[in-house]
Structure 1
Amino acid sequence: MLLPPQLIIAGLQSGMVYAIIGLGYATVLNSTGILNFAQGDFLMIGALTIAVAYTALHLPYGMAVLAALAAVGVVGYLSQYLLIRPLRRKQASVFSMTMVMVAAMIVLEQGAGVVFGKQELPVDSPLPETPIALGASVNLLPHTIYLVTGSLAVFGLLYLFYHHTNFGKQMYAVGVDINAARAIGIDVQRANALAFTLGGLVAAAGGVLFAPLVGAHWLMGLPLTLKGFVAMVVGSPSRLEGPLIGGLVLGIAEVIAFRYISTAYGSALALVVLLVVLVVRPAGLLDK
């Protein structure tokens, strides 16, 4: 079965967004052991911030992007400082900390509805909106190219951070063995704070890249949270490229289902993909 090229483009577009959210999940999980189920709402805040800063207030695009990164980076840091750090001091279980992030997801969603309003906000693209014709029936928006290349750039920057900076290596060490990391003098609290902040920055980048294609809305976070989680697990949370592969698999699977089954089963399909992969490859597609 050959997919129409336009459908493949749509799958890649969605898949890159799921991959970005999955990368944020993995960034936090691999350093702290915590599943940050507020990751999709971090993206939502980034999308709403770029909508207000760039489209509503007409700030220069670079300043609007910095505003979105700063806003979500602060939210990520405060999530660790106000919620996770006190629980660490009380030696709470990882399950308890994960449930706290579920509660944070709900609070962020409701708070965004109050602060930004409950109507969808349009988001202008900094690029021309005229599609690029690649053939008789294939059109590619310039912003789709921006989304794909920007997402790949985020993955590349995270790779460089983990492999070529002391902070990145310390975060990795904390994730491997927190007690051994403490024993060699690594500041575990700082590593945890950095993980949540980076998770926020990754999500903010996803919001900036994705919002011009779909708009920004206070309820957009939850379905993206689910699909980003699936992307991470399907690809493998222990490999940096895992969420990328998982996101693309999910994105292509979605467009196949939308074309040949129904558009009503998007979230259900994500769970089906997750179940199938867990049965066949419990550690993810990229893990041995």
Structure 2
Amino acid sequence: MAKKIPSIRAGKEDESSLDEVFEDRNKSPFSHEKLTKWLDHKEREINIIRSCVDIMKGVKIVPNQSELEREVFGNNEVVCFVFTSMASADPCLEAMGQYLNSPKCASTEEEPWSYSDEVLREMRYKAHLFKTYSEEYKQPCCYLIAAIEDKRIKGATAHYYQGGTLQIVNFSFPKIMSKNFLSKNDEIRKGDSLVSNNGEFKAVFQEDGNFVVYGWKPVWASGTNGPDTFRLIMQSDCNLVIYDKGGTPVWHANSYRPDTEVCRLQLTDEGELVVSRGAEVVWTSSKCGMK
């Protein structure tokens, strides 16, 4: 505008050239539409990070590399939940910078990681595993949350440090935890298990896609055998659901309840799966029988 208006006043350019300026701006990274979209992306990222941090309540957040090193050097064993995409260069900001230097070479079409359902599911799943692991193995480990860029892993991972050095970049949590329940929004996947408090029963999400309760023999099964069966989740609406890889339900307990504050799945000492909403029992595996 600073160049165009004096040229128009001097008669060197036609007033229609102003239309070109506004048209170019609408195509640029600085258009109202693209700036609004960028802000929406940032807000979504913040909401995703917050949801994962909320799952891991009580775990210390280290804000920078110096603080992380202080904790790593001060503890023999450290397990750190790492947000890997927070520190990445923002493609929208890069495009804005490029546009200022050369208006023809800017693009903001790259899809943000925060809009990938698969990445979001993995992040929340890892956050739940991290929380469970930190509660079961309190000593001698120190547990932390940090942001460390890693372009190889979108969303999040876990680092394992020992003796002040990074030993494992993508730490795999033990599949079998000793807890006997899933809280609201908790999920398990193939190879994961629940164990009754008395240790006599185990509910296993098998590699064949079937969710089976075992005592000395199988006592209940979901009947969901199949290579695409992916995860079982205790949903916030109190419904216990098994999904395939595409996000399609393949089995559910029909335990939906509206306005649910507290819901959970428990494996009892009698080998029964029970979905409850507070004191109300809304579903039991004994009423379904073996599939």
* Same topology, TM > 0.5: no
- TM-score, normalized by length of structure 1? 0.23
- TM-score, normalized by length of structure 2? 0.23
Structure of greater Rg: 2
Kindly indicate which of the two structures has a greater share of residues assigned to helix: 1
Kindly indicate which of the two structures has a greater share of residues assigned to strand: 2
- Higher RCO structure, 1 or 2 (CA under 8 Å, sep 6+): 1
